[in-house]
Amino acid sequence: MQQFSKSFRASIRQYMMIIAMVVLVVFFYTSTGGKFGKPMNVYNIIMQNGYVLVLAIGMLLPILIGTIDLSVGSVVAVIGAVAGIMMYRWGQPVWLTLIVCILCGVVIGIWQGFWIAIVNLPPFIATLGGMLIFRGLTLVLLQGKTLAPLPSSYVQISSGYIPDIVSNIFGIESNMNITTIVIAVILCLLVLYGQLNARKQKLKYGFQAPGIPAILLRVFLISAAILLVASRLALYKGIPFVLVIVGVLALFYTFILNNTTIGRYIYALGGNARAAELSGINIRNVKYGIFINMAIMSAVAGIVFSARLNSASPLAGQSFEMDAIASCYLGGASASGGIGTIMGALVGGLIMGILNNGMSLLGVSSDAQQIVKGLVVILAVAFDILSKSKSSK
């Protein structure tokens, strides 16, 4: 009984943010008279927060080594400006624009990484300078003007969705997107396989592993959430392309952090930089790679955001770095580094999106929303610090 109680408390701490997200969903659903749970609103939450989730995935890596990147919002803006100039002014094709935007992200990352990894400038100062440089560069490129509209094929990156292929093939007549439901069921089966395989690997190497009932309960809760969201999306249009992009990036970076040497280096550097260096880890290369990666993810977010706006705006990206950082902290990442997961960052990003959307439906002013979000971030970090202090005692 005592062991079960200890395990239960550990599970509660581990899934605190997920529990908080569920509570927020229930609160906004009841307080808005069901408007929050309508298919179109669920679809809008995903569409409106796609860029935040992309940035949160990228921001987790600097936070894991105990730093942050303040330039991501300005990088989003300058990438949008490059995309707008290439397509709107120069008439270049979408595929070439996408390649150039990603390459610009690489160049920006090399610039940022040089000052941080080679010159040993504090990341806060280097990225603060980058924030000012790239915001100014955006204003120079756009000359204070908004470029719109952008090509429809480019806009589809953010506004498009997966068509109902299954219904078309089998001639099924339904008011739901059957393909969305099929994909959701496949995801649930993959979650079950992943959880069972993870347990098998732990037992193989002699580590403590959760029992089958605990795994089945976890899979049930995750699958219920997947099917609930999928059913809402299926009643509207289907799975948006943005969600596919976020899903692919989440799987890729989860694999990198959990199953590769690079991932172990990042966690080791965040846990104890001096010990990591003494163990033979090239700290300079790890830092360089992290900030190049962050710039590339900012470029992806810039593409997604400009596609959603259907324009290149000099005001794009303002405060995006705060949303990304807050998402990671809300998702359980430690401000001191060494602790955090991709799934946690996504949950944190969704909490920020749910707060924005729910308060907007309730008629809360944007000024008050900023106050609420600031308080939530402070409480999340304070909870992390207090939990660590209690554990150490």
Please give the Cα distance from 304 to 174 (Å, whole number). 31
| pLDDT (mean) for 224-244 | 91
Please give the Cα distance from 111 to 104 (Å, whole number). 11
Q: Write the pLDDT tens digit of every residue in 7-59.
A: 444 445 556 777 788 888 899 999 999 899 999 999 999 998 999 999 999 99
| DSSP state letters, 207-273 | -----HHHHHHHHHHHHHHHHHHHHHHHHHT--BHHHHHHHHHHHHHHHHHHHSHHHHHHHHHHH-H
Q: Write the pLDDT tens digit of every residue in 259-318.
A: 899 999 999 998 888 888 888 899 999 999 999 999 999 999 999 999 999 999 999 998
Band (63; pLDDT cuts 50, 70, 90):
very high
Band (206; pLDDT cuts 50, 70, 90):
confident
> Higher pLDDT residue, 208 or 317?
317
> What is the three-class DSSP state of 310?
coil
**Does pLDDT of 6 surpass 70?**
no
Tokens encoding 373: 């979000």
**Does pLDDT of 178 surpass 50?**
yes
Q: What is the pLDDT of residue 332?
A: 83
Among the residue ranges 14-18, 68-72, 97-101, 170-174, the one predicted with the least confidence is 14-18
Q: What is the pLDDT of residue 142?
A: 95
Please give the Cα distance from 238 to 163 (Å, whole number). 7
Report percent pLDDT > 90 for the chain.
56
Please give the Cα distance from 85 to 265 (Å, whole number). 39
> What is the three-class DSSP state of 102?
helix
Q: What is the pLDDT of residue 3?
A: 46
Q: What is the pLDDT of residue 308?
A: 94
Burial class (CB in 10 A: 0-12, 13-18, 19+), 216: middle
Burial class (CB in 10 A: 0-12, 13-18, 19+), 63: buried
Q: What is the pLDDT of residue 174?
A: 83
**Does pLDDT of 75 surpass 50?**
yes
Band (1; pLDDT cuts 50, 70, 90):
very low
Tokens encoding 212: 């089958």
Burial class (CB in 10 A: 0-12, 13-18, 19+), 55: buried
Among the residue ranges 94-103, 143-152, 198-207, 335-344, the one predicted with the least confidence is 198-207
Band (4; pLDDT cuts 50, 70, 90):
very low
Mean model confidence pLDDT for the chain? 88
Q: Could you tell me which residues are beta bridge partners of residue 312? A: 147
**Does pLDDT of 381 surpass 80?**
no
Q: Is residue 321 within 8 Å of 71, Cβ to Cβ?
A: yes
Burial class (CB in 10 A: 0-12, 13-18, 19+), 191: middle
Task: Please list the alpha-helical segments (H only) found in 272-341.
Answer: 273-278, 283-309, 320-330
Name all contacts of 218-226 with Cβ < 8 Å and 24+ positions apart.
Answer: 219/188, 219/191, 219/192, 219/195, 222/188, 222/191, 223/188, 223/191, 223/192, 226/184, 226/187, 226/188, 226/191
Q: Is residue 303 within 8 Å of 101, Cβ to Cβ?
A: yes
The alpha carbon of 123 is separated from its chain's Cα centroid by a whole number of angstroms, namely: 21
Name all contacts of 177-181 with Cβ < 8 Å and 24+ positions apart.
Answer: 177/233, 177/234, 177/235, 177/237, 177/238, 177/239, 178/234, 179/238, 179/239, 180/230, 180/233, 180/234, 180/238, 180/239, 181/227, 181/230, 181/231, 181/234
Which option is the CATH number for 33-160+262-384: 1.10.10, 1.20.58, 1.10.1200, 1.10.3470? Answer: 1.10.3470
Hey, where are the domains in the chain? 33-160+262-384, 162-239
